């Protein structure tokens, strides 16, 4: 399997997740999914489809997108296992992300961008 993310790679996410990451979630298949979710969130949150214009962006913008996507994907990797995070903390992380996503989906400017 190969990296399928646009903004970040599996290796970049794994470096941020560190050595305490759950072995199940710290693999390419999971990380590709996490990166895709992060990229979509970034695109809608900013109201710009960075994915479509990525190849034309300058290195500084690519670096910011890489950092944002890899940070969020690493949070997903780290929140997967019970050894590194309590269930209550995982619920709090997931709930916060859910609320952020719902706010975006309710926002009319975001809805116009998505559709």
User: Per-10-residue mean pLDDT for the chain, 115 residues long?
Assistant: 93 90 92 96 91 94 93 89 73 85 80 71
Q: Would you state the pLDDT for residue 22?
A: 85
**What are the extents of the domains in the chain?**
10-114
For 109, the token pair is: 């400017």
Q: Whole-model pTM?
A: 0.83
Nearest to 70 by CA among 1, 20, 3, 22: 3
DSSP tag of 56: G
């Amino acid at each position: 399997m190969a990296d399928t993310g646009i903004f970040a790679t599996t290796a970049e996410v794994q470096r941020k997740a560190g050595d305490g990451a759950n072995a199940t979630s710290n693999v390419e298949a999971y990380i590709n999914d996490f990166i895709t979710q992060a990229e979509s969130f970034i695109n809608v949150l900013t109201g710009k489809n960075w994915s479509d214009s990525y190849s034309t962006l300058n290195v500084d913008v690519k670096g910011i997108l890489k950092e944002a996507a890899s940070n969020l994907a690493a949070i997903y990797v780290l929140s997967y296992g019970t050894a590194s995070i309590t269930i209550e903390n995982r619920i709090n992380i997931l709930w916060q992300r859910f609320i952020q996503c719902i706010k975006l989906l309710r926002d009319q400017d975001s809805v116009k961008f998505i559709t």
